[in-house]
Each structure stands twice: as C-alpha cells, then as structure tokens.
Homo-oligomer: A and B are copies of this chain.
C-alpha cells in the first residue's frame, strides 16, 4: 500500500531508509519518526557519520579488509602466519572468524561472490589480487571460507582453477557438517550426506 506523506522532506528520508536491505516503508517511517524526536545535533551526527564513512573509508592494500592504515593490523602483525590465507566474502566474515580464534594466518576479502544472476563477475571482486599474492611465492595454503551457497561454490571453483598454476599451494575449504548444537532430525539431507562422507575419528578429548 503506497502512502502519501504530507511533506517531501519526510518522503525523501523514508525513501532513503527503505532503500536499505531488509527495511520496508513501514519500518523506514518508524525510524524517520524516531529521528524527528531526537535533537538536531545527534541527527546531524548520524548523517555526517554515514557521509564520512563512505568518503574516508580505506581498505588494506594487502587483504582489502577495512583499515585506517595502508596495511591493516592483521597483515602487519609479525606473529601471524603469513603462509596461510583465509579467503572470505566480506569484512563481517573476517570478524566472525577472528572471534573463533582458530585462524592464525592472514585474510583475503573478496568483497562479494561471483553471481551471474546479479551481474557480478570474477573481475568485480578481488580475485586477481589474490592470485597475485599467491604468485608471490610465500603462500603455502589458501583456505576457502565462503558460504555454502551456489554463489560460494561457483566462486570456490573459479578460484580453484585460477590457482591451478601453483600446485605447491594447498587449497582447503571449511568443513561441511552438522552444526554444533543441531539435532540430526532437523539437519538437511545434503549436509547429513556430506557429514557421513567426511566423518572424522572419534576421540575422547
């Protein structure tokens, strides 16, 4: 149901919020009315934080993670294993994997996945720069940590082919299996099949 607003200022602000993913016009209106109740300074701060972010954000020259310095703190850390590169879709995935504290190497942020449906090709994401890093010669393992979706699989396959000229580099991917805490009954059959194929030795820890 299209609603008409009494004010084009209101209309414009609602349209901007409604352009964000997962936010419809009703939620957008609720957010905008919330902002109208705030004082002018805090709303100005909100708007300026967004504008400044987009204008001044910098990415690490090595891994393309968001960074305030030319090389991000992870890439610059001499205690991290520079021979292992974990390939992820975006900045959020770097944070998730860092939170697990299980990866001690570096990252490579693609900035997207290959998706012919959405018009995203290999040239639109950071694959060439990954190949360059591998060609540098110090990389021993590339961990593909992409989503278990069609786009993730396509991107995995494409990277695998592009790295074929470097057979000394081990290419691994995240284990697929039953999620920790999930019941077998509610695990889909594809995942269940994979988790049987890739079963691991049972050990008392």
A90 contacts which chain B residues (CB < 8 A)? 33
Binds B, one of A42-50, A152-160, A175-183: A42-50
Q: Which of A1-56 contact B (CB under 8 A)?
A: 1, 3, 5-10, 12-13, 16, 19-23, 27, 29-38, 40, 43-56
CB nearest neighbor in B for A26: B92
Min CB gap A176→B, angstroms: 23
Size range of the chain A interface in the assembly: 35 or more
Tell me the dominant secondary structure on chain A's binding face: helix
Contact B36 A47, beta carbon cutoff 8 Å = no
Given the known inter-chain contacts A16-B46, A40-B54, A49-B13, please indicate yes or no for A27 contacting B22, CB distance below 8 A: yes
Min CB gap A189→B, angstroms: 29
Min CB gap A114→B, angstroms: 15
A73 contacts which chain B residues (CB < 8 A)? 6
A21 contacts which chain B residues (CB < 8 A)? 30-31, 34
Contact A53 B12, beta carbon cutoff 8 Å = yes
Complex-state Cα separation, A195 to B155, whole angstroms? 59
Whether A139 sits at the interface, judged by CB under 8 Å, is no
What residues of chain A have their CB less than 8 Å away from a CB belonging to chain B? 1, 3, 5-10, 12-13, 16, 19-23, 27, 29-38, 40, 43-58, 65-68, 72-73, 90-92, 94-95, 99, 111-112
List 10 A-B pairs, minimum CB-CB distance, nearest first. A47-B51, A43-B54, A47-B47, A47-B50, A13-B53, A16-B46, A16-B49, A13-B49, A9-B53, A12-B49
**9 examples of A-B residue contacts, CB within 8 angstroms:** A5-B95, A12-B49, A13-B50, A13-B53, A22-B30, A36-B54, A40-B54, A44-B51, A50-B50
